[in-house]
Chain A
Amino acid sequence: DTEVTQTPKHLVMGMTNKKSLKCEQHMGHRAMYWYKQKAKKPPELMFVYSYEKLSINESVPSRFSPECPNSSLLNLHLHALQPEDSALYLCASSHLSTSGDEQYFGPGTRLTVT
């Protein structure tokens, strides 16, 4: 099973709302990632969790707050977002193998901030 699942598929939120995006994998992967992707652009890395600890934060604004409750789950908590935060949010996971490490992506959550 090489599936990464993400919920919800679509999310519309106001600038004062609080919402969360969820990601799950059951491949035994020890690294999980959040990416942001704007239209016609490549994904931009936001956060990396390695062995359930935050290992990379790409200078993401604090209105985005990641959480890794266990090795299979990854959340992204959203609060006081701006319209420019509207994008496709992708989750990915990987083994963290030193001999070569491919990332498997979920289908994404399409976020619209109004």
Chain B
Amino acid sequence: AQSVTQPDIHITVSEGASLELRCNYSYGATPYLFWYVQSPGQGLQLLLKYFSGDTLVQGIKGFEAEFKRSQSSFNLRKPSVHWSDAAEYFCAVGINNQGGKLIFGQGTELSVKP
């Protein structure tokens, strides 16, 4: 069965430090992969996506992610975290043959220390 695992429930980093959020997926075919961010009480905002091609993808707000097929991973990175990056981050895999259904990981809550 398809699944997404985000091993870290909560991460705290200092402002200006680098960030890496981990995501592992289980899916038989080539996955469509996404990272979304959600601020408290808000909807989800798409940060970036991987469909095919270059395995390093750039997103909004200075985020990037690297697709590693051999490790079934799609980790999210940012070189320098800002206080406004504090939020919940969800990794998701798209099951394109099911009308666009998304399978979400459990999320990682990011806190930023001043």
* Residues of chain A at the chain B interface (Cβ within 8 Å): 4, 6, 31, 33, 40-43, 45, 48, 50, 55-56, 88, 90, 92, 94, 96, 98-108, 110
Contact = CB atoms under 8 A, between A and B. Distances in A.
> In the complex, which range does the number of interface residues on chain B fall in?
20 to 34
A31 B100 contact: yes
A94 B98 CA distance: 13
Interface of B: 32, 34, 36, 41-46, 49, 51-52, 90, 94, 96, 98-102, 104-107, 109
Contacts of A104: 46
B46 A96 contact: no
B86 to A, nearest CB: 15
Contacts of B100: 31, 33, 48, 50, 94, 96, 101, 103
A33 B95 CA distance: 14
Contacts, number: 68
A102 B43 contact: no
A34 to B, nearest CB: 12
12 contacts: A33-B100, A42-B106, A42-B107, A43-B102, A50-B99, A55-B99, A100-B51, A103-B100, A105-B44, A106-B43, A107-B43, A110-B41
B104 to A, nearest CB: 4
